[in-house]
Chain A
């Protein structure tokens, strides 16, 4: 079935490509009527009868132009314009069999007093080092948003995940009139909401990344920035979405997203309420998911069938941004952003967990059935202030406060059986918990560099944190052993845990060190900086534990578990960094090599005071560390660019007080943990590598990019577990030092997009690979635990203009764990998910879309299929939308997840959403400037 659907999709793609192949060609030249000289850079554009632009070119230095793949058997209007000349216009109809030739002679427009001004509508031009796109040159429907416009511009690719690349390079910052829009630099809020008619022009340029202030400037560190310049009369406006829906099975949802802005201030509110597991907790995410765009709706901003349980989510929040200066560039900023968000969830989860756990000669099968009801509430308040005068200075203050409270009631029943199915032990746990916490943080950063006064180059970061939490927990746990008499336990235990923590830290990186030390001497152009890192942390905790005495019916303090603990840590690391870059330029390429070396001295003092005598411990450490990095960058002009780096770091970890002197609590019979006062420090050797590649050929219909990121870590004396499966069925973990462990991981992606006239086909591939080797003991048998995970995901998207968007994807995942210890068991599970998506924007104002996910899991006999379908209709001048959602049409979705660790594999099945149907009404209030969007005309001249 799946294969058929894939074949059908591919057939459709090829039919579309073939249809595109039936095209006409036109060649010709533009000359001046007086001198008979060729006119270079004359704009030669084709329009349809409805004035929508088909394509355009600028004539070459000989005045020549050559078009391929023009529509045939269709009346087209050819328009040729040149500054100071009378424009030429002609209706044509091409056929596919021959190449038409047209030589056009333009006459100077002596009578036109405006002849010296640029009146031609030029779609794209370079202005210095900035690429400028003129929206007026692209005829589109009145409600088209910026993203639809960008989709029409050669060299720009809108990827199916919403990211934008220009000639292969990703747009990292998006500004509106030089500033982050609604306080966010994510492109989607602006590009999927702002109408094309409100835009004066779109600029693309490279910008210096301020995070590198006081460091060496290298080409690969610049960021591609898109700036949307609004028309003067559109510099204030509002837009948003208010939606409400109700469906079968008592399902409901509501979304609110409303933003208004003027030249200096923007304000947005957002929120929602639903019981369909739809994520609404993050305000910026909410803005991004409720945009006006509908030609390619986000098919996954719906109820999440993969989420555990049934969750009632609510949120409400707002963000206010004010710019204190009047400039419209991104170099000078003086901006404050305030945000508040309240969110919460009421969750009801039942789950069944099946585990395979290795043990010597006797693997265990663990089955747990549980249920829980959670309630959580969160208030977040944030303040962000940014002040910059240029690319050489940066002052930011970021402050956040968070209040959380929650309750949880749960019960679980666990059975452990041996390989023959014989019951070994069981554990019944019932718990109640309330918690509340608050966290406050402030980060201040000030960086400055000055080529004229290098002694004043520095980068200072200071941060402060405070947190406090109180948790009350009551646990009733009954453990029964069926293999050893007298080992049953029964607890009714209360925990009251309170903690307070404070942290103050800072980094001063002094780039003027070389100038201070060596004055004008250059030291072979080696860059040098001296830095210092300081950190102070104090954590104070009180644990009051009581056990219920069934004789006295009272809770008796547990002196073994109750304790107070205060840990103070002072850390100071001075470091010296050296780096050198070798640049090389040629006519058509540039490249550079960078070598960096850093040596650090970690000085640490830790004082632990505790009511438990053995945990009173003062320790001090000194670690001399070093790290190095080599990177290479190569750019072939207008062809491609590539970057690669490899780095090595060495660092040390020392065991924590809880690993040395663990307070042993056996209330969880399957995880009783013991400390080890003889633990040694861990040494980590880490090698990381990164490489990327992207094409930059604007003339090519292809856009290709890819990257690979990987690392290898070898740890000496790693802290690992020696696991003892006791006869009673209890499981104990003893902390020990292994000889060494290592881990290798890679993640990678490759994307290719091809433009076929106004249609696009994209293939996105990403994956990761992880392989770990960890030593340990299981039932006193030494074992090396090999764990391996591999994931590969392909997504193919075909867009037939804005009419039809098809998606097909496949994801393969494998988890494997293997033990070298004799008698221990290895495990493996596989899953693969096939995804299809379709969006059809036809007839006018109507959008049909559907998603189909087919999940195969090696632990299940039968595949699980989730089929959702949607139909929406826009009316009320495109501002009202009625949407019908049919979720889990086949009514067979099961919520199953797999995971693997050194001890075995876990399959978890939870309750979750089941089939429902919903009708949603949404209203999109929109106004840009003085007149509403619909009344705007399209007479822009550039």
Chain B
């Protein structure tokens, strides 16, 4: 026990030391959520084009539908209709697949594109069982036990197979343990943070890096049994992609630093400096909540204190990110040149994009240095404004001129270099 404490303390001290050493290299970004202003959309976007999605009979794309991008396909996920629509990248319709479990209960069977295997996987809990948080921990502590596989279900659509057949698959140890692919061919990470007295070892790490199935590095130690800030909740380290395929950004709960992770190291790159009124008080990190209720009350009564930074997308000129507060959130874009932060919700579409806000609050995908946003035909008709100085793209023109046409479009754009 004493050795563990020593080990924990040493790791913490090293972490702090490392933090101090690299602090000088960290770029500070000052964000005042109340003061973040708006701008014209044309100040940001570049190379805007629209891809028309072919519309077969019995297929309608609504504003609530989501876009996923695979190697060769656009995939429209219709949670409400329980369907997946597959399109080629030129907008040609390929196939629709009905899947009644899609997004069940808001937590299970979300489509996840596995770029390594070029397949869509759906993993979720077997609805014949109800698992509590303790059950999940017990199962995760024994992931190799074949009996535990019955609690989960997994389905796969192999995108190399043009029949797009939904096939039942067996949940793997990685699925049960929450280990997911990170980068290169063989690097995986586990980033779930929980506390429980079911754990025998009091030390765990927020982020664990695996090479294939071998644990090679662990970062950010915390008390697995009673870390004050993680009691009565489950958190995840977020690891959004970067333009460099060999690295990921990393953000942590209740932390304002954005790290860059490679297979060899992790280093802080940015720090979001918030006003004092959005900053977590010191006691949050040291004084444990007495119960789940006390924690919930803290969240409800301190809605604008930092929770976590998500979706860190960095281009050459801008950074997009979401700040999750205790019970609110904000979407922001940072201009590297102006060193100014804008609130994405306050960014207005203008005539250069025909009145269409291609920068919506959500549902924008960043892939291979391009941004993609899905629009239903109704949304285009509602927002479209002609621009006398600019020819209307064909994808839009078709929708505007014929009210019967219901082809959806995908806006593709980049961000201006300055």
Contact = CB atoms under 8 A, between A and B. Distances in A.
B37 A520 contact: no
A343 to B, nearest CB: 40
Interface in A331-364: 331-332
A104 to B, nearest CB: 16
A102 interface: no
10 contacts: A32-B38, A116-B35, A128-B303, A332-B293, A389-B293, A390-B293, A392-B293, A451-B132, A520-B135, A521-B128
A36 B350 CA distance: 10
Contact of B132 (A32, A329, A454, A521): A454
B327 interface: yes
Nearest to A588: B64
A329 B133 CA distance: 27
Contact of B34 (A32, A117, A525, A586): A117
A585 B38 CA distance: 34
B267 interface: no
A40 interface: yes
Interface in A300-345: 327, 329, 331-332
A21 B54 CA distance: 50
Contacts of B292: 390, 452
A41 to B, nearest CB: 9
A83 interface: yes
A452 B134 contact: yes
B143 to A, nearest CB: 16
B328 interface: yes
Nearest to B346: A40
Contacts of A240: none
Contacts of A452: 132-134, 292
Contact of B301 (A329, A454, A525): A329
Contacts of A35: 38-40, 348
A550 interface: no
Nearest to A37: B348
Contacts of B303: 127-128
Interface of B is mostly: loop
Nearest to B296: A390
Contacts of A453: 132, 134
A528 to B, nearest CB: 12
A115 interface: yes
A38 B357 CA distance: 13
Contact of A522 (B62, B129, B327, B328): B129
Nearest to B39: A35
Interface string B315-329: 000000000000110
A837 interface: no
A522 B39 CA distance: 52
Nearest to B327: A128
Contacts of A329: 297, 300-301
Interface in B77-122: 80
Given A451-B132, A520-B151, A37 B32 contact: no
Interface in A444-483: 451-454
A59 B300 CA distance: 28
A84 interface: yes
Contacts of A117: 34
A546 to B, nearest CB: 64
A520 B129 contact: yes
Interface in A366-422: 389-390, 392
Nearest to B301: A329
A3 interface: no
Contacts of B64: 587
Given A128-B327, A332-B293, A587-B64, A115 B38 contact: no
> What 9 A-B pairs come out closest when comparing CB atoms?
A390-B293, A116-B35, A37-B348, A520-B129, A389-B293, A522-B130, A116-B34, A452-B133, A452-B132
Nearest to A585: B80
Contacts of A116: 32, 34-35
A635 to B, nearest CB: 16
Given A37-B39, A525-B127, A587 B62 contact: yes
Given A37-B350, A329-B300, A454-B130, 6 more contacts: A38-B348, A332-B293, A452-B132, A454-B132, A520-B129, A585-B80
B67 to A, nearest CB: 17
A585 B130 CA distance: 21
B131 interface: yes
B162 interface: no
Nearest to A515: B130
A556 interface: no
B291 interface: yes
Contacts of A327: 297
Nearest to A514: B130
Interface in B282-334: 291-293, 296-297, 300-301, 303, 327-328
B362 to A, nearest CB: 15
Interface string A572-594: 00000000000001110000000
Contacts of A585: 80
A38 B41 CA distance: 12
Contacts of A389: 291, 293
A37 B349 CA distance: 9
Interface string B44-68: 0000000000000000001110000
A813 B143 CA distance: 72
A131 interface: no
A664 interface: no
Contacts of A586: 80
Interface string B344-361: 001010100000000000
A36 B328 CA distance: 29
B135 to A, nearest CB: 6
A299 interface: no
A941 interface: no
Interface in A522-544: 522, 524-525
A453 B198 CA distance: 14
Contact of A84 (B37, B39, B80, B293): B37
B132 A84 contact: no
Interface in A57-102: 83-84
Contacts of B35: 84, 115-116
Contacts of A331: 293, 296-297
Given A329-B300, A587-B64, A521 B129 contact: yes
Contacts of B128: 521-522, 524
A179 to B, nearest CB: 14
A599 interface: no
A521 B297 CA distance: 32
Nearest to A392: B293
Contacts of A128: 303, 327-328
A388 to B, nearest CB: 9
